[in-house]
Amino acid sequence: MKEFEYLKPDSIEETISILFQYGQKAQILNGGTDLIVEMRDKIAQPEYLVDIKAIPQLNRITYNKQDGLNIGATVTLNEISNSKIVQTNYPILAEACKTVGSYQVRNRATLAGNICNASPAADTAPPLLVLEAKVNIISLVGEKMIPINQFFTGVKKNVLKKGEFVTSITVPPIKDKWTGAYLKQGRKKDVDLATVGVAVVCIRDEVRIALGAVAPVPIRAFKTEELLKGKAIDEALLEKIVKSAIAEVLPISDIRSSKEYREEIIKILLKRAILQAKGGHTL
């Protein structure tokens, strides 16, 4: 790794000040499971590394029925998947966190890190999309809240500008009974990147669908959701849905999978996710 200066602020104020001061030269060190590999491979070469793990407000999970769930930036994926609060109230998020990497990786990797890394295949993205999460961002200019489906702007690109960083992710409460599913297809059952990821949430007549690893960004399939609104699910509708979903995405052939196979898997996983959600445990 190239040499850099390591900074460990213990407050948000100090952090945004540092980020403003160093601009492009600074990068946040959170879980490090993506960044350190990039630094080892010299893809990332920050001059200043800003470790945010000493900031106390960032490592909390809070929940109440009115405001929903708030997950601090430094909360790890294992902490989320092991949290009774998340398991009870947002089970698909707990499940999705569990599918990232290995147990060791999940002890360091964070939800904020997973979305900021903005891989099209990020496992936490499809669930966050269907749960209509919001990303809390702060900078010297102030605080703002960006809906998750505006957060990803391209392959490994997010909406953050220099000087901004994510302090937490808010998952709003769902006022009605709902069920959901997150299904991931990889080359292997464990410890693999998603070649296709599908998240579905069913709230009464509404069905929300999000797809990962099949477009430059993880996406909500809004057009497809329109087809489902208020309709009973049958084989014919499922066929229509999967066709529509494929039209909304842009799967590619890469080292992990071909475009054609991804399209096949989208069809299968989407059907299975909807059926699982429909037949699943209600909240």
Partner 1 sequence: MLKYVGKSEKRVDGVKKVTGYVRYTDDLKLSGMLYARIKKSPYPHAKILRIDSSKAEKLPGVKVVITGKDVPIRVGLYLEDKTFLAIDKVRFIGEPVAAVAAESEEIAEEAVSLIEVAYQELPAVFNPLEGIKPDAPLIHEDLGKYKHASIILPQSGTNISNHYKIRKGDTEKGFKEADFVFENEFYVPHIQHSAIENHCAIAQVDPEGKITVWAGCQSPYAVRRTLATAFNIPLNKIRVISPAIGGGFGGKAGTTLEGIVIPLAQKTNYRPVKLNFKREDIFVNTFVRQAMYAMIKTGVTKDGKIIAEENTFYWDGGAYTEYGVNIARAGGYASTGPYDIPNVKADSICVYTNHPVGGPYRGFGMSEIHFAIEQNLDIVAHNIGIEPLKFRRKNALKDGSSTVTGQVLENVGFVECLDKAAKDIEWDKRIKKVSATKYRGKGIAGMYKAPSMPNNVGSSAILKINEDGTVNLLVTAMDLGQGSDTVLTQIAAEVLTVPISRISIMTGDTDCTPYEWQTVASRTTYCCGNSVKRAAEDAKNQMLRLASLKFGISEEGLELKDGQIISKIYPDKKVKIADLAMGLTMPDGSGVHGPIIGRGAFIPPDVKDTDKETGQGDKPVAFWTFGVQAAEVEVDIETGEVKVLKISAAYDAGKAINPELVCAQIEGGIVQGLGSALFEEMKIEKGKVLNPSFVDYKIPTVGDIPEMKISIIENPEPTGPWGARGIAEPCMVPTAPAIANAIFDAIGCRINSLPLTAEKVLKAIKSKNK
Partner 2 sequence: MKHKIRFTINGDVKEIEIEPNKTLLKMLREDLDLTGTKEGCGAGECGACTVLVGNKPVNSCLMLAVEADGKEILTIEGLSDGTSLDPVQESFLKHNAIQCGYCTPGMVMSAKALLNRNPHPKEEDVKEALAGNLCRCTGYQRIVDAVLDTAKKRGKK
For partner 2, the closer of residues 2 and 65 by Cβ is 2
Q: Is residue 168 within 8 Å of 138, Cβ to Cβ?
A: no
Question: In the bound complex, what is the minimum distance in angstroms from residue 8's beta carbon to partner 2?
Answer: 8
Cα–Cα dist 200/275, whole Å: 10
Cα–Cα dist 207/2, whole Å: 48
For partner 2, the closer of residues 31 and 251 by Cβ is 31
Query: Restricting to residues 151-210, which ones interact with partner 1 according to CB under 8 A?
Result: 185, 187-193
Query: Restricting to residues 52-71, which ones interact with partner 2 according to CB under 8 A?
Result: 53
Q: Who's near 7: CB < 8 A, 6+ residues apart?
A: 18, 48, 49, 50, 51
For partner 1, the closer of residues 174 and 268 by Cβ is 268
* Residue range at the interface with partner 2 (CB under 8 A); choices 16-24, 30-38, 123-131, 255-263: 30-38
Work out which of 88, 104, 253, 258 binds partner 2, going by CB under 8 A: 104
Work out which of 36, 85, 215, 252 binds partner 2, going by CB under 8 A: 36
> Strand (E) positions, 1-124?
5-7, 26-29, 48-51, 61-64, 68-72
Q: Does 42 bind partner 2 (CB under 8 A)?
A: no
Q: Is residue 78 within 8 Å of 107, Cβ to Cβ?
A: yes
Q: What is the DSSP letter of 110?
A: B
Q: Does 33 bind partner 2 (CB under 8 A)?
A: yes
Question: In the bound complex, what is the minimum distance in angstroms from residue 212's beta carbon to partner 1?
Answer: 16
For partner 2, the closer of residues 103 and 222 by Cβ is 103
How does 105-117 read in b/e, with b if 16+ C-beta sit within 10 Å?
bbebbbbbbbbbb
Work out which of 29, 211, 228, 266 binds partner 2, going by CB under 8 A: 29
Residue given tokens 């909390």 in the structure block = 60
Q: Who's near 64: CB < 8 A, 6+ residues apart?
A: none
Work out which of 265, 266, 270, 273 binds partner 1, going by CB under 8 A: 265
The residue type at 142: G
Q: Which residues bind partner 2 (CB under 8 A)?
A: 1-6, 29, 32-33, 36-37, 39-40, 49, 51, 53, 78, 101-105, 107-108, 190-191
Q: Which residues bind partner 1 (CB under 8 A)?
A: 185, 187-193, 255-258, 261, 264-265, 268
